[in-house]
Amino acid sequence: MASLCHDLAWDLLDEGLLSDAEALVREELVAVRFLATYDPETFLLNVADACENLAGILWEGGHPEEVEPLLREALECYRTLAASDPDEDGLPALIPEAGPPMGVLATILAEEGRAKEAEELFREGLSMYAILARAHPEREDFRLGEEAFRESLAQLSAGV
């Protein structure tokens, strides 16, 4: 059911039916949250994805007040998954998918004047991508993530 809601929501978004897509993503989120209570390793990524998707729809629909809690929930899912990583490669447990919602949330916080909270998230994202970029130099996306977080942190420090 969750995947059906997800797929149909994207079709509705393509048709410009934002409120209908929102309703389906909300249903998807309820379903994957329920499934994650029984099998977090399998479904926490789905919860994070649904949270991010719903946050984007709500932002576009003019409901920014609902975005922050959804992005925080997505980050918590990623952190939980990272903490359960067996860390076999000797690197800290990292989930690179956490980068985009982390950056969006930090930007929202910065725009709301919550610079300290934004700085913490920008620093966390910078640290994560710096480690990933060093460990995987072939991955341009990790290098670009590091650059984006470094630039955002510099802009925050400069008051831009």
The rounded distance, in Å, linking the Cα atoms of 121 and 136 is 22
Specify the CATH number for the domain of residue 20: 1.25.40.10
Same domain, yes or no: 24 and 50:
yes
Q: What is the pLDDT of residue 81?
A: 87
Does residue 1 register a pLDDT over 90? no
Tokens of 13: 């978004």
Domain end call among 81, 116, 137: 81
Residue 91 DSSP label? S
The rounded distance, in Å, linking the Cα atoms of 98 and 88 is 20
Residue 90 DSSP label? S
Structure-model confidence comparison of residues 26 and 87, the more confident one: 26
Q: What is the pLDDT of residue 74?
A: 97
In the block, tokens 């929501």 appear at 9
What's the average model confidence in pLDDT over 27-37? 96
The rounded distance, in Å, linking the Cα atoms of 71 and 98 is 10
Could you tell me which residues come within 8 angstroms of residue 133 by beta carbon, excluding any fewer than 6 positions away?
139, 142, 143, 145, 146
Residue 67 CB-half CA count within 13 A: 20
Same domain, yes or no: 23 and 45:
yes
Same domain, yes or no: 157 and 117:
yes
Q: Which of 33, 101, 114 is nearest to 67 (CA)?
A: 101
Does residue 7 register a pLDDT over 70? no
**52-100 pLDDT tens trace:** 999 999 999 999 899 999 999 999 999 898 888 766 555 556 678 899 9
Specify the CATH number for the domain of residue 146: 1.20.58
The rounded distance, in Å, linking the Cα atoms of 97 and 88 is 19
The rounded distance, in Å, linking the Cα atoms of 128 and 91 is 10
Domain that holds residue 11: 1-81
Same domain, yes or no: 95 and 159:
yes
Name the percent of the chain in helix, strand, coil, to the closest 5. 80, 0, 20
Q: What is the pLDDT of residue 3?
A: 74
How many residues are present in the chain?
Answer: 160
**103-144 pLDDT tens trace:** 999 999 999 999 999 999 999 999 989 998 998 999 999 999
Q: How many distinct structural domains can be found in the chain? A: 2
